[in-house]
Chains A and B, each alone.
Chain A
């Protein structure tokens, strides 16, 4: 089992540019989550999907952020245009099912720096 795979590991971009972060969940997991981690706010849930359908995007900070899951093995988080305050580590996580004892499996994250 390769685990949750995220790419790229690091992204440095200039303010105003479009950024796309990618995630491949664990095969067979029905749920996919995008989190953002910063020193100031800790771990924030941005959006999550169930069977490729967005269920709750209330954590997405602004319209500049969008997420898609075109199939069960791939998801993207896009920021357009990016701003320096978007600098953070973005994590993707997947989960097998709805039982509340089913843990999250995290990728190693993408460290985004917007200058």
Chain B
């Protein structure tokens, strides 16, 4: 079945450091790929998405490119801020499985001032 694997956390960075959170997926067909972010005490919210190969999703300085050849969707940000501290979830939604969204385990990011 479809699955998402993302790097384990926590990831601890200093402010203004470069961020990469790795995500790879397994799916049949052509899924859409998402990054969601969860701040403390809140639900998940969409950060960015990409719907086809080579698409780049971007929002709030975060970017991820849909790489079909490597089945990856790595999240990057050039300069993190303390306010980026949160849990980040990679997810896919495909044409199989009743259009369910499959989530990775989440990666916790701590950014120090």
| B98 on interface, CB distance cutoff 8 Å | yes
Contact count A vs B, C-beta below 8 Å: 51
| B20 on interface, CB distance cutoff 8 Å | no
CB-contact partner of B103 in A43, A98, A109, under 8 A: A43
User: How many residues on the A side are at the interface (Cβ–Cβ under 8 A)?
Assistant: 22
| B43 and A98 form a contact (CB under 8 A) | no
| A100 and B32 form a contact (CB under 8 A) | yes
User: How many residues on the B side are at the interface (Cβ–Cβ under 8 A)?
Assistant: 23
CB-contact partner of A103 in B31, B46, B106, under 8 A: B46
| A106 and B99 form a contact (CB under 8 A) | no
Residues of chain A lying within 8 A (CB to CB) of residue B100: 45, 48, 56
Residues of B within 8 A of A (CB): 31-32, 34, 36, 41-46, 49, 51, 89, 93-95, 98-101, 103, 105-106
